[in-house]
């Protein structure tokens, strides 16, 4: 069995709300009654706690999902250095194997009804000399959800990212506006401009939350129009996860 619902979450930059949006999507999916799993295939910036490497983004995504899967599947590459992935990988002697990431995704998709995959940084972050995160998104071939960090310059960043998504032959299924700069002037005008120019619906505006959480962020989103979004009360699957599952 393969996940019927799956999305790739990217953003206009780093630190603009991709993880919060990914967590919100997973929370909303879980509320419909399906088994939802999250993936962040590459994460940089981990620290050792009780003998285990931990990353805040990875932990947040795992906490929002209602289907627990092994970390080596959901985050096959977890690096210590908080830097661009290709730089962190070079420092740690790691080589990214895109085939391995895709195989991990297939196993996750075989275990879940819904999968949300979060990218790293912006849409075109280098991974190897020949491969970047846009190539990974293209290989996964999932509908893309774009997180726009609301701050000065976001219009150009969002439109350029949308062009890059289209250039890879991918569908921009929706976008989320996340308030990064609460003091941003003409916020609503910027949102209106993007609504008129981006070729996908606005799923919602996440304000600056007093306590950021998946549930709080999800309350500001309407995901019902996303492709293959499950209806409320969707039946849970009867299959169980097997680490040997390979089928797509």
Domains and CATH numbers, the chain: 5-218 (3.40.50.300)
Q: What gap in Å lies between CA 222 and CA 177, rounded to an integer?
A: 12
**Tokens at 199, concatenated:** 């070729």
pLDDT at site 239: 37
Rg (CA), the chain: 17
Choice among 18, 40, 139, 236 that is catalytic: 40
pLDDT at site 3: 85
Percent of the chain at pLDDT > 70 equals 93
* Average pLDDT value for residue range 224-234: 88
Average pLDDT, rounded, for the chain: 92
What is the reported pTM? Answer: 0.92
CB 161 within 8 A of CB 137: no
139 tagged catalytic: no
């Amino acid at each position: 069995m393969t996940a019927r619902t799956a999305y790739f979450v990217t953003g206009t930059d780093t630190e603009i709300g991709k993880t919060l949006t990914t967590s919100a999507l997973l929370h909303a999916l879980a509320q419909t009654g399906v088994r939802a799993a999250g993936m962040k295939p590459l994460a940089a910036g981990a620290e050792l706690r009780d003998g285990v490497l931990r990353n805040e983004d990875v932990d947040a995504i795992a906490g929002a999902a209602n289907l627990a899967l092994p970390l080596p599947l959901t985050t096959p590459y977890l690096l210590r250095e908080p830097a661009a992935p290709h730089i962190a990988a070079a420092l740690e002697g790691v080589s990214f194997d895109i085939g391995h990431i895709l195989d991990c995704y297939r196993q996750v998709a075989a275990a879940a009804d819904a999968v949300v995959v979060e990218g790293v940084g912006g849409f075109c972050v280098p991974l190897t000399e020949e491969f970047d995160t846009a190539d990974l998104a293209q290989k996964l071939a999932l509908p893309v959800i774009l997180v726009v960090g609301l701050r000065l310059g976001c219009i150009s960043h969002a439109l350029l990212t949308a062009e890059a998504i289209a250039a890879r032959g991918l569908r921009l299924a929706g976008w989320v506006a996340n308030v990064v700069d609460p003091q941003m002037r003409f916020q609503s005008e910027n949102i209106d401009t993007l609504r008129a120019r981006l070729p996908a619906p606005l799923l919602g505006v996440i304000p600056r939350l007093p306590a950021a959480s998946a549930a709080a962020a999800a309350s500001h989103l309407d995901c019902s129009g996303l492709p293959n979004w499950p209806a409320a009360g969707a039946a849970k699957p009867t299959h169980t996860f097997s680490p040997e599952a390979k089928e797509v």
